[in-house]
Amino acid sequence: MTYEAPVDDILLALKTAAGLSEEMDKGAYGELDEETLRAVLEEAGKFASEKLAPLNAAGDRTPSRWVEGNVTTPPGWKEAYTAFREAGWSALPCPAEFGGQELPETVAMAVCEMWNGANLSFGLCPLLTQGAIDALAAGGSDELKALYLPRMVSGEWTGTMNLTEPHAGSDLGPISTRAERRDDGTYRIFGTKIFITYGDHDLTENIVHLVLARLPDAPEGTRGISLFVVPKRLVGDDGSLGGENDVICAGLEHKLGIHGSPTAVMKFGERGEGAVGYLVGEENRGLNTMFVMMNAARLAVGIQGVAIAERATQAAERYAEERRQGRAYGVRAGGMVPIAEHPDVRRMVLTMKAMTRAARAICYATAREIDTSHNASDEAARRTAADRAALFTPVAKAFSTDIGCEVASLGIQVHGGMGFIEETGAAQPYRDARILPIYEGTNGIQAIDLVTRKLPLGEGRVIENVIAEFEVTARRLKGENRPELGRAGERLAAAVADLEEATRWMGEALTKTPALALAGATPYLRLFGVVAGGHFLAKAALQELEESGHAGQSVALARFFAENIAVGAGGLSAIVMSGGHAVLGASADLAPA
C-alpha cells in the first residue's frame, strides 16, 4: 500500500477545524449527517487507495505522451478515469440541476485530498474540470450551461483553463490570443497558450477549453480580456459531437514532476479558419469570471499540498518503523532499533505530521467558510464568511503548498540513501510537489494578495476578528495547565501576539510604505499560516481533552507544533516589520506610487 486515505484524520479536521459537526447539527448541510459523511469518505478513500494509488508510480515512469497531435495518458489511466466517472465521483459539489450531488465544498475538498494524495497527476484532471465547471456556472449563458455542464459534471467531458502565454504568466495583462466576432454570435479564436493541464488526452471524447482572449477593439491590459468556451470537438445544439474544432495540441512539456498529467502547448486557429468559441459572460470582463474560478482552484491546489504532504508522511512513517539502524545513545548492547526511535528521526516525522495536519485544518476551515458563504441563513453571516474565505484562501494555497514541498523533502531525508533512489517512491512526491507553489498564482502572488487585498477587507475587521479567535484558543490552551501540553499555551499566545503586531504594522505600511509591505508579504503569510495552524491544532487538542479527558495524539501534535514551529513566529514578525529595508536596498523608493 503506497497510500492509505487518512479517513480518520480527515474526519477529525472536518469536525475540529471546519466545525462540521456543529454545522450539521444546525442543519446547515441539509440531510448530511456524520454517518453519511463517513460513508462518503470511506468509499472515496477506498477508490483512492485501491484504484488511483497503484497508478501513481506508473504515471511517473510512463508519462503522458504526445504522438502526432494526440496525447496518450499512462497505462491504466483511461480505465481508472472511466471507473471514477461511473462511480459518480466527478459530480460531488456540482448543482443538482446539472446532475451534481450538491455535496458541500468542505466534503468535496476532503475527497479532493484523497484523489491527489493517491495520485496527484490523476487528481489534476477532475480538479481542472471542476474549475471550468465553476467558471461556466458563474458566467455562462443558460444555453451554454445546458449544453456543457451536464456532460462536464458527469465527467463525460473534461475541462481546461487556458490562461498563460509565453510572455503572459503571472501578469495576464499582455495576453495576445485574439478573438474575432462572427455574425452568428460566435467567435473565432487565434493564438497559442502554454502550460495547459490536460490540454489534450484520451480519457474522454471531448475537452472543453476555457480560453482567455482579446477582442480587436478591447482596451489594453487586464480590462480587455474576454473568456470563451472552445470545445475540442464541436457540439451540436442537441449535444451531439460534430467535427474537430481548429484547436491542436502542439506538444507536451518535459517536467520535473507530475509526469502523468499532460501539460500542453495549445494552438487555436492554426488551420486558418480560427477555433470556434462561445463567449462566457460579458466581453472584456473575462477575468472577473476567471477569478471566481481561480479562487476555488487556489483552495484546491492548497489541498494538493496537504495531499502530497500526507502521502510523503505515510511513507516516511512506514519506513521509520521498519528500517533498523543503530541503538539509543549510550546503549552498546542489543540489536538495532527502528530509526523511528531516534530523537532526530522522530523530530522529522513529527514535523511532517504536524505540518500536514496544520495545512489540512487551514484548507478545510477555508472550505467551510465557502460553504457558509452559500448556506448561512442571513445575508450578514454569508458576507462575513465570504470575506473570511477570501482572507484564508491565499494562506491555504501558499502555506499548504510550501509545506507540501518541505514535508516531501523531509520524507526523502527520513529514507536516507534509499530516498534518493527513484524505485523507493519517496522522490516522486518531492518532484511532484514542486509545481504546487507555482501554479494557480505563485505563492509570492498569494502573499501579495493576502497583504494588499485581503488584510484591508472590512477595513481590517475581518483579520482582526480572526486574530481575536486565535487569541481565545491560545488563552484556552494556556488555561488547561496540563503537563502534557508543556509550554504550548504560552508559545501559541506569544505567536498570536506576534501576528497581531505584524498585522498592525502591515496596515500602516500598506498606506505609508507599500514597497516595505510587499517586501514583507511572504514572511507575513508564513507567520499567518503558522499561527493559524497552531490555532487549529490547539482546537483539536482542546476538543480531545474535552471529549475524552485524555491527552492523546491531538494534544501531542498541538504541543509539538506550538513548541517547535509556532515558536518561530517572533522571528517571522521581526522579518516582516524590519527586514524589508534590506530587501529593497538603499535606493528603493518607499513612497506610495
Q: Tell which positions 434-453 bind its own copies, by CB under 8 A.
A: 434-435, 437-439, 442-444, 447-448, 452
C-beta closer to its own copies: residue 95 or 570: 570
Please state the closest distance from residue 20 (CB atom) to its own copies, in A: 28
Instruction: Restricting to residues 84-113, name those near its own copies by CB under 8 A.
Output: none
C-beta closer to its own copies: residue 386 or 518: 518
Length of the chain: 593
C-beta closer to its own copies: residue 11 or 577: 577
Instruction: Restricting to residues 542-581, name those near its own copies by CB under 8 A.
Output: 551, 556, 559-560, 563-564, 567-572, 574-575, 578-581
C-beta closer to its own copies: residue 100 or 394: 394
- Determine which helix (DSSP H) or strand (DSSP E) holds 263, and give its type and residue range: strand 263-268
List the grid coordinates of 305. Answer: 499540498
* Residue 301 CB-half CA count within 13 A: 30
List the grid coordinates of 427. Answer: 522522490
For β-strands 206-213 and 226-231, DSSP reports them as antiparallel
Is 34 one of the annotated active-site residues of the chain? no
Contact 288, 122 (CB under 8 A): no
- Interface stretch with its own copies, choices 146-154, 237-245, 377-385, 583-591 (CB under 8 A): 583-591
Nearest residue to 110 via CA among 4, 3, 9 = 9
Please state the closest distance from residue 259 (CB atom) to its own copies, in A: 10
C-beta closer to its own copies: residue 392 or 560: 560
C-beta closer to its own copies: residue 493 or 556: 556
Taking CB under 8 A as the rule, does residue 21 contact its own copies? Answer: no
Residues in a beta bridge with 159: 208
Interface residue with its own copies among 518, 527, 537, 540 (CB under 8 A) is: 518
Contact 319, 416 (CB under 8 A): no
Taking CB under 8 A as the rule, does residue 256 contact its own copies? Answer: yes
Instruction: Restricting to residues 169-228, name those near its own copies by CB under 8 A.
Output: 169-171, 173-174, 194-195
Taking CB under 8 A as the rule, does residue 508 contact its own copies? Answer: no
- Interface stretch with its own copies, choices 22-30, 384-392, 422-430, 535-543 (CB under 8 A): 422-430
Interface residue with its own copies among 334, 417, 459, 550 (CB under 8 A) is: 417
- Determine which helix (DSSP H) or strand (DSSP E) holds 243, and give its type and residue range: strand 241-244
Taking CB under 8 A as the rule, does residue 583 contact its own copies? Answer: yes
Instruction: Restricting to residues 271-300, name those near its own copies by CB under 8 A.
Output: none
List the grid coordinates of 285. Answer: 470582463
CB neighbourhood size of 221 (10 A): 14
Instruction: Restricting to residues 477-496, name those near its own copies by CB under 8 A.
Output: 484, 486-488, 491
Nearest residue to 247 via CA among 229, 225, 227, 226 = 229
For the chain, how long is the longest CA-to-CA vector? Answer: 87
* Secondary structure (DSSP) of 215-231: -TTPPSGGGGBEEEEEE
Taking CB under 8 A as the rule, does residue 514 contact its own copies? Answer: yes
Interface residue with its own copies among 179, 215, 229, 521 (CB under 8 A) is: 521
Q: How far is the C-alpha of 30 from the C-alpha of 208, rounded, in Å?
A: 32
Taking CB under 8 A as the rule, does residue 65 contact its own copies? Answer: no
Contact 340, 349 (CB under 8 A): yes
Please state the closest distance from residue 498 (CB atom) to its own copies, in A: 10
Q: What are phi and psi of 188, to 5 degrees?
A: -120, 130
Instruction: Restricting to residues 321-340, name those near its own copies by CB under 8 A.
Output: 324-326, 328-331, 336
List the grid coordinates of 72. Answer: 496518450
CA distances from 11 to 7, 88, 408, 500 (A): 6, 21, 23, 30
Q: How far is the C-alpha of 211 from the C-alpha of 214, rounded, in Å?
A: 10
C-beta closer to its own copies: residue 276 or 495: 495
Interface residue with its own copies among 515, 537, 538, 541 (CB under 8 A) is: 515
C-beta closer to its own copies: residue 145 or 526: 526
Please state the closest distance from residue 275 (CB atom) to its own copies, in A: 23
- Interface stretch with its own copies, choices 182-190, 205-213, 472-480, 518-526 (CB under 8 A): 518-526
CB neighbourhood size of 106 (10 A): 29
- Interface stretch with its own copies, choices 48-56, 392-400, 432-440, 542-550 (CB under 8 A): 432-440
Taking CB under 8 A as the rule, does residue 416 contact its own copies? Answer: yes
Nearest residue to 266 via CA among 164, 349, 118 = 164
Instruction: Write the single-letter amino acid at 322.
Output: E
Classify residue 46 as exposed, middle or buried by CB count within 10 Å of its CB (0-12, 13-18, 19+): middle
Instruction: Restricting to residues 151-170, name those near its own copies by CB under 8 A.
Output: 164, 167, 169-170
Q: How far is the C-alpha of 367 from the C-alpha of 541, rounded, in Å?
A: 21
Interface residue with its own copies among 519, 537, 538, 545 (CB under 8 A) is: 519
Residues in a beta bridge with 161: 210
Q: How far is the C-alpha of 108 from the C-alpha of 91, rounded, in Å?
A: 9
* Secondary structure (DSSP) of 490-516: HHHHHHHHHHHHHHHHHHHHHHH-HHH
Interface residue with its own copies among 409, 469, 476, 478 (CB under 8 A) is: 409
Please state the closest distance from residue 251 (CB atom) to its own copies, in A: 12
Please state the closest distance from residue 531 (CB atom) to its own copies, in A: 13
C-beta closer to its own copies: residue 274 or 419: 419
Q: How far is the C-alpha of 208 from the C-alpha of 148, rounded, in Å?
A: 8
C-beta closer to its own copies: residue 392 or 430: 430
Annotate each residue in 338-377 with x if it binds its own copies (CB under 8 A) or - if it does not, as one string. ----xxxxxxx-x---------------------------
Determine which one of 113, 440, 480, 500 is catalytic. Answer: 440
- Interface stretch with its own copies, choices 72-80, 125-133, 430-438, 534-542 (CB under 8 A): 430-438
Q: How far is the C-alpha of 187 from the C-alpha of 171, rounded, in Å?
A: 24
Would you please indicate which residues are annotated as catalytic (active-site) residues?
440
